[in-house]
Each structure stands twice: as structure tokens, then as C-alpha cells.
Homo-oligomer: A and B are copies of this chain.
Amino acid sequence: MTSWLLYIPDLVGTFVFAISGAMLGVRRQLDLFGVLVLSFAAASCGGLIRDLIIGAVPPAAFADWRYVAVSCAAGVITFYRYALIERLQNPVQVFDAMGLALFCVAGALKSLNYGLGPVAAVLMGMLTGIGGGIVRDVLVAEVPRVLRSELYAIAALAGAALLVTGKWLGLPDLPLMAAGAGLCFFLRFMAIRHGWKLPVARYDEDS
């Protein structure tokens, strides 16, 4: 039941995350294969690393070929229609926030189901949401954007934490997932709109 309900938004999230990878690949002048690798990395590496950590092998990213297919489709479209995708950046950001919201909640739930403790499950939820973007940026030798700016990871953390807290209180899955994803989406959306950020340490470049 839950899994069917998750499946469609999961593929949508994969598609949108893959677009972020493909756009970076095009900007960095990779060839078509490189763009597809970045699409897949951005879309699936968060869940992939989570699955390795919780012991769910082979990871969903490879156990179901549709994820790879969706990533590749997003990559090919971005590769050949970059200008179009760039003009759609605002809707893409909103979809990306939706993908983040879904991934953090689904990742936390899966981790609980594999027997992880509450703190670990919250972290796994966040990792599911942000891990792909970290691998994507590392692959082009950049400091991951999520480590530097905006309320991206915190939104995922909050959504996962809400879900895990609710499960601990014995609340039912579906409303919890909706609430967790909603909280994550709201925080991320406000961060985009109003430029909400975390503090950066004061540091003089001298030393």
C-alpha cells in the first residue's frame, strides 16, 4: 500500500534531482556520458549510500531499473534542451523541494523498518535527501553546495525528525509522512523565497 503511494512521487523526485545533476554536468562541459553519470549520482546516490549503511543490498537504485531509466531520461532531455530547462528553473526549484520532502520522509521510514534507532533514522532521512547532491558536487571537484548555503539540509532533517517522533508516539504512517514532507517542503520553500540561511563562522583569511 504505502509503497505504491510512494512510488510515483519517488520517480518524480528522482527525475527532478537528476535534472540538477545534468545541469551541473552541462555547465562543466562534460560529455553526454558524464552528464548521465551526474544525473544518476544526484538522483540516486543519497538513497544508495543509505541502503549500504542500513544493509539493504542490492540498493533500490539498482534493484529497480526504472530509477536508472528516469535518471537517464532527465539527463538526455537536459543535455539537448539545456536552454529550455534553465528557463524553467523556478518550477524546477519547487519540484526539487518536493523531491527533498519526499526523500527525507521515505528514507527515515525505510531506516526505521531496517531496525535503526531514532537518531540514526533521522540522519538517514536527511542523507537520503542531500547525499545525491553531495556526490554530484564532489564528482565535479566542487565543495558541496549543501555545506555552504541555505536551509536545505535542515529542512530534510526537520521532516525526518517529525516522522520519527510521530512513529515513536505510535501515530499512523500516512498522515505522518504527509506532515513530515509538508514541514520539509515548507521550510525549503521559505528558504528559497526569503533567503533563510544558517550562520557562517567569522574567520579571517590570514592564518
Which residues of A does B touch, CB under 8 Å?
Answer: 25-35, 37-38, 48, 52-55, 57-59, 62-63, 65, 68-69, 79-80, 82, 86, 114-117, 119-120, 123-124, 134, 138-144, 146-149, 153-154, 197-203, 207
Contact = CB atoms under 8 A, between A and B. Distances in A.
B148 A139 contact: no
A133 to B, nearest CB: 12
Given A57-B55, A62-B123, A138-B138, A29 B203 contact: yes
Contacts of A54: 57-58
How often does this chain occur in the complex, in copies? Answer: 3
Contact of A139 (B38, B79, B143): B143
A53 B52 contact: yes
A148 B203 contact: no
A156 to B, nearest CB: 10
A72 to B, nearest CB: 10
A119 B72 CA distance: 13
Q: Quick one: which of A28, A58, A139, A148 has the most chain B CB within 10 A?
A: A58
